[in-house]
Amino acid sequence: RPRLQADGGDIELIDIDGNRVIVGLRAMCVECPMGGVTIEGIQEKLRELVSEDIVVEAQ
């Protein structure tokens, strides 16, 4: 999150439903073309630290 905020963006945890983690991109992240890459990076880290079944979705 500090990296996103340093670029004028942010992310918010909206919900966790089983293995689904739903987040919302905020501020500059809303229109950033790298938003998909950001979500993939978060998903990869959560799979590494929590469970390989985690799916991160942006709302």
CATH code of 18's domain: 3.30.300.130
pTM given for the model? 0.80
Its domain, for residue 11, covers: 2-58
Q: Dig out the tokens for 24 from the structure.
A: 């919302």
Helix H or strand E segment including 20: strand 20-27
Q: Going residue by residue through the chain (59 aa), what tens digit of pLDDT does each one get? A: 667 777 777 789 999 999 999 998 877 666 766 678 889 999 999 999 999 999 999 98
Domain count, the chain: 1
12: closest CA among 49, 21, 50?
21
